[in-house]
Amino acid sequence: MGKLRKQSLFIMLYLSSLLLFSACGSQTNEIPESAAQSPSVEATAADSAVKDFSREENLVSLYQGIYEETLQKQAFGDEVSMNLTIVQEITQKLEAQGVTAIDSENQVNMTNPQQMQAFISALKNRETAGLTVLIVSAYDRFTEYCLRAEGGALEAEKTYYQYADGAFEARSSVSFPVDSWQYTEEGYFIFTGKSFSAQSLVLTMSDEEEFAAWRVEPLDQQCREWTRRYLLPVGYGKNNMFLTDWSEADYGTLDFYDLFDKFYPEMYQQSVPYTTSENAAVGVVYHIPAREFEDVVSLHFAVGTETLREKTDYLEAANAYEYRPRGFYETEYPNLPYPEVISGAENGDGTLTLLVNAVYPSAETSRAFTHELTIRPDAQGGFQYLSNRVLRSGQDYDTGWHTDRLTAEEWENVYGNPSLLGKAGFVSVAEDIPMEHPEQIEAFYQDYQENRDARVTVLNVNADGVIDALTFLHRDGKLQSFYIGIGLSADGTPQKTDESLRELAEIQLTPKGYFIYAYKELPQYAALCQYWRIRPLPEPYRTLTEKYVRGLSYVNYDMLTKNWDEHNAESILNPCLYEDFCRIHTGKEPEVKNGRIPAAQFEEIMTLYLPVSGEQVQRLCGYDEASRSYPYEMTLHRQYPPFGEVTAYTENADGTITLTVDGVWIEKGTDCAFTNTIVVQPFADGTFRYLSNSIEQKEIIPD
């Protein structure tokens, strides 16, 4: 499968899982009231029986006492070591109390594994048995699993506890039948099932996947230390170091840019500063000084400079490496396998060869694949990676979670052309980027007007990288919208940031292509109406709008709402004009001191942009002779006032430009509430002056 196609498939699969609600909308157009009110399925007799084996009355208080005692004893240190120490102490104390427990990061052996083995034996033999297993965390939380075996069937009750206000409290609980389970050759108990919760119903109108993989057989502590030291800092996410064959003699397809990302925080004790653009739809390229890039990579690789430059985009003239950070289109599946060293051998030349299994809980395997890693430790406590070899077998899983970085050609194809979301067939839009596939919205609106059931999903890419996935539903004459926010976590994996289901009061598609919608109950901090322009404003109208019209207001002064020219321009003078003119002129907010603006600065701006004199400005804008300044009058902001866009223009013989500007008023549901005719005079230095305005009312003139 091609890389871009694979990335496109990943985006479609991920978004489809979040938007499954809309696909199920053909069966129902609203959430059943009973489901929305129920936090979990009604407990059955079998669910209740689990509690007989759980000692639930004292287990939470036991854990709380151990947790608080452990934290009080902790000395300061680095976070990784402290967290491991906390987990080790908690599990040791639980073991002494006869509790079966395992940590959430698979860093310590299961306590009292004989109880787990006895339970598995009873499950195999179709006997009745129960067991409670605690999942320990170094942070203020833990999870309790109550397992119940009967007649070969397995039921699980999962409860999540959070420490707050001096006590552990149950925050969520679900019960579910286990669909499949296995005890693997590697000593893992793995089970999967589907749980029900009101949240999963709202999100997907389906059950939620549950999976767990617990190591029951103990693992040698030396293997665990090797895993923590050499494997976990790199892992299987966002790099191919452990997924391909390479050696010091031939680095193959090893991606050194990904290794730069992995090693930089270790070397400089801070995150990589070369980050993606705030706008996820925009690419960014850095030139990293050669010394910096090479020092980071050589932290754990003895790769020659010549070889490294051949394997990367080295710019000889700049003595720098061209670097493109991983962006939205290079994210990976959120559920990844993790490495686990199962044996190791010290070689005669001082090197160390480790045998590593990739444990992949979501794929229901404790050995997705195996690889052999060779390392050269040094006397100073450092080390270098020497080679990796994937040991192939007929049972290896596809490394489909991994996404290679875009090549230069692919990067240009993604960021230089319409977005990958659009290529994948989604209705997608971002600020200053035309909407892709607007015909889907037009088809939805046509179905709505003709009272047919329909739905459409719009993906809005925000400047902060969050994608708003908004599905519009029309069912049995009722309008609804279902929203999910999709963002990137700290490690770059996609995650849901928010969700909501709301009733819509109305939708409208204007002649020029403004899609407007309004909620029945206005969300907090939301505007009265929301909108997209689904058909872009043609060039050069967009450029003229940006330069001459975008910064002006229809509600804070009379400049656009009354007729005037050079003969009566003083009639529109208002101190509020200065703020908008200043932004147009400098691109910045006005500099104000003690609520005043220096006269020279104020008059220069006002007389530049309007055909008025300094004397007229002084007489009508509150000039103070003593301080030689003007009062700063901040413009008032109002939700969705009218805004203008150029729809025609004429270049006149005298060098002026006559602009035809339509007033778009979203709040009134119109893209032409009135039409302005504005004459501007451009100057050679890029500045300009407004010479006149006339307005023709089409529907309503703003107050």
The answer to whether position 396 is within a domain reads no
Q: How far, in Å, CA of 283 to CA of 279, rounded?
A: 8
pLDDT at res. 10: 45
Q: Which helix (H) or strand (E) holds 46?
A: helix 45-50
* DSSP output for 115-139: HHHHHHHHHHTT--EEEEEEEE-SS
- What's the token pair of residue 691? 């010479």
* Same-domain pairing of 238 and 319: yes
* Same-domain pairing of 516 and 586: no
Q: Rounded to 5, what percent of the chain is helix, strand, coil?
A: 30, 30, 40
The answer to whether position 382 is within a domain reads yes
The alpha-helical segments, DSSP class H, found in 527-651 are 541-544, 576-586, 599-609, 614-620
pLDDT at res. 277: 64
The answer to whether position 202 is within a domain reads no
pLDDT at res. 623: 94
Q: At which of 470, 502, 533 does a domain end?
A: 533
- Tell me the sheet residues that pair with 142: 136, 161
* Same-domain pairing of 110 and 135: yes
User: Quick one: how far is CA 185 from the chain centroid?
Assistant: 38
* Same-domain pairing of 377 and 346: yes
pLDDT at res. 639: 59
* Same-domain pairing of 86 and 167: yes
- The CATH code of the domain that includes 293 is 3.10.450
φ and ψ at 659, to 5 degrees? -105, 135
* Same-domain pairing of 379 and 243: yes
Contact 699, 674 (CB under 8 A): yes
The answer to whether position 11 is within a domain reads yes
Count of domains observed in the chain: 4
pLDDT at res. 27: 39
* Same-domain pairing of 385 and 266: yes
* Same-domain pairing of 45 and 13: no
The answer to whether position 162 is within a domain reads yes
Q: How far, in Å, CA of 638 to CA of 129, rounded?
A: 66
* Same-domain pairing of 551 and 648: yes
For the chain, list residues with pLDDT below 50.
Answer: 1-10, 12-14, 16-55, 198-206, 418
Q: At which of 141, 161, 196 does a domain end?
A: 196
The 10s digit of each residue's pLDDT in 110-120 is 999 999 999 99
The answer to whether position 83 is within a domain reads yes
* Same-domain pairing of 188 and 317: no
* Same-domain pairing of 156 and 7: no
Q: Which helix (H) or strand (E) holds 72?
A: helix 56-73
Q: At which of 485, 503, 533 does a domain end?
A: 533
pLDDT at res. 699: 62
The answer to whether position 622 is within a domain reads yes
The answer to whether position 291 is within a domain reads yes
pTM: 0.59
* Same-domain pairing of 113 and 252: no
∠ CA 14-17-20 to the nearest 5 degrees? Answer: 145
Domain that holds residue 618: 541-697
Contact 312, 321 (CB under 8 A): yes
